[in-house]
Chains A and B, each alone.
Chain A
């Protein structure tokens, strides 16, 4: 069993091996210390091929594929701003005023892949690809052409999160039924209020009234 190089080295190797690839290290604060690599959408498939075929990494086994929904977040910070204010005696005075500035970070959907190597028996290397926004059908490239094991799991992420995997051979709903329109694993999903088994108060059911 060989040991994996640190993620920073893998990042450097991808950037050297795939021209134009944008790779960012995403730190993981938990004791598991499984840091991950964020790949740019344009070169994600080339980078995945590179990781699979690299002689030392040989990440031939894509174990887990999943979607994650990150909502829009708002950060507010208090900033001290110098302002010219008219003083009580009518003169112009410069004072410091505290202001809250709000910055909106737009949300996105994320596809996370956990890669292992069956040949070298090491792992995991975690890679992530993010969509541009949280629109109903947001696009990322499919990695099914690289690892066949993504086929059903990407279909599941499409079904439950609405991530569209470009280049997937057979992207259909897998767990929900065909006519279903929503994406139930999203954080802002509201289930419909149509429970057929909900109890009706006495005397209020349609049969009783009729």
Chain B
């Protein structure tokens, strides 16, 4: 957090430079996030993201507690996607301690993770359109669907957002047959929502004018800057951790990875829509294949887990990008080092590169297409 922008250096031969501090309390910044923007007329000539307002040193808190104690805290990282956060952390602990997961638990993990992806993308698309001035309606349509998923999470885990559902070695509670039927009943409604959304918006003139060619990100810069998730694939790089690592049981499902071409906001918007369609496909296959059986490895000691001294890095494809956890064990009950790889924060690295030379109104749209959650950026 620096104030060095206050010392304006005049740029010779050009117009008047204006400093604007966008945020931290601005509805389009999706939380307490600030951008120090330097403008020449309406054009952005410099932009520095400033964050840390929600910093609570999550990593230090986790290093002070047992391995089990960190799971509820991971819910609060990306508070829209607690299920995938749980999975990323549990995967890292499983790698560190060599724990296996029963088959039924793997299927349930895929089901809840894909439902999470659906509701995150639906919400993001709604917010993005809201940022563009489509007041209310698209967001309400998206939230109507998100609500159905959150109801399912509530009946499964007891909480709508802070689910605290997974454990290393399995899951906290089993899903009933009635719950699985609920999911099966919901599935046909999801493509209908997507069709409706696309009919309204795909060829919408205002949407296309505002997003096509806005916030371009080249393929080379995206790879070098470690951008992951739908944002990377919108720039045309075929990299999805579900396909590359095949963690869990993702090698059993037939799904495609949508790729963009231009790397602009429109492509990023379409990536989310297309990924939601693939998500529905994965859900159908998982619900068909889910077996009966235990949901927890009975040999795992949840309390007082003491992995051998060593380290492990586990990563998953969260809705925002590659979510990784890096753990170092010194043989005691607490992790010696606990580190989160936050996709939201790393995707912000190139925000300035995408916004330079654009109008200030497009900064809002570009930021909206990055999909950040400040609980994860600031940790």
Does B328 belong to the interface (CB within 8 Å)? yes
Contacts of B223 in A (CB 8 A): 60-61, 118
Interface string of B38-67 (1 = CB under 8 A from A): 000000000000011001010110000000
Cβ-defined contact, A30 with B52, below 8 A: no
Partner of B322, one of A63, A66, A121, A177: A63
Contacts of A12 in B (CB 8 A): none
A160 and B339 alpha carbons, distance in the complex (Å): 12
Does A43 belong to the interface (CB within 8 Å)? no
Q: Considering the complex, give the chain B residue whose CB is closest to the CB of A150.
A: B226
Contacts of B226 in A (CB 8 A): 61-63, 147-149
Partner of B96, one of A32, A62, A147: A32
Cβ-defined contact, A185 with B57, below 8 A: yes
Size of chain B's interface in residues, with CB distance under 8 A?
Answer: 45
**Distance of A29 from chain B, by nearest CB (Å):** 4
Does A178 belong to the interface (CB within 8 Å)? yes
A177 and B24 alpha carbons, distance in the complex (Å): 14
Q: Is the interface of A mostly helix, strand, loop or mixed?
A: loop
Q: Is the interface of B mostly helix, strand, loop or mixed?
A: mixed
Which of B135-143, B187-195, B283-291, B309-317 contacts the other chain?
B309-317
Contacts A32-B96, A118-B237; A149 near B308 (Cβ below 8 A): no
**Distance of B21 from chain A, by nearest CB (Å):** 15
Cβ-defined contact, A30 with B307, below 8 A: yes
Cβ < 8 Å to B, chain A residues 58-89: 60-64, 66, 68
A16 and B266 alpha carbons, distance in the complex (Å): 46
Does A114 belong to the interface (CB within 8 Å)? yes
Cβ-defined contact, B310 with A28, below 8 A: yes
Cβ-defined contact, B310 with A30, below 8 A: yes
Does B186 belong to the interface (CB within 8 Å)? no
Cβ-defined contact, B341 with A63, below 8 A: yes
Contacts A114-B324, A121-B244, A185-B57; A32 near B224 (Cβ below 8 A): no
Does B95 belong to the interface (CB within 8 Å)? yes
Contacts of A60 in B (CB 8 A): 223-224
The interface centre, meaning the residue of A28, A29, A61, A160 with most chain B CB atoms within 10 A of its CB, is A61
A63 and B339 alpha carbons, distance in the complex (Å): 12
Contacts of B244 in A (CB 8 A): 1, 121
Cβ-defined contact, B2 with A178, below 8 A: yes
Cβ-defined contact, A32 with B59, below 8 A: no
Cβ-defined contact, B308 with A29, below 8 A: yes
Cβ-defined contact, B55 with A30, below 8 A: no
Cβ < 8 Å to A, chain B residues 296-334: 307-313, 315, 322, 324, 326, 328-329
Cβ-defined contact, A175 with B346, below 8 A: no
Contacts A61-B223, A149-B225; A31 near B97 (Cβ below 8 A): yes
B interface list, Cβ under 8 A from A: 1-3, 51-52, 55, 57, 59-60, 95-98, 221, 223-227, 237, 239, 244, 307-313, 315, 322, 324, 326, 328-329, 337, 339, 341, 345-346, 348-350, 378-379
What 6 A-B pairs are tightest by C-beta distance, nearest first?
A: A30-B310, A149-B226, A31-B98, A32-B312, A29-B310, A175-B52
Query: Would you mind naming 8 contact pairs between A and B with Cβ atoms under 8 Å apart?
Result: A29-B309, A31-B95, A31-B98, A34-B313, A61-B226, A63-B341, A114-B324, A151-B349
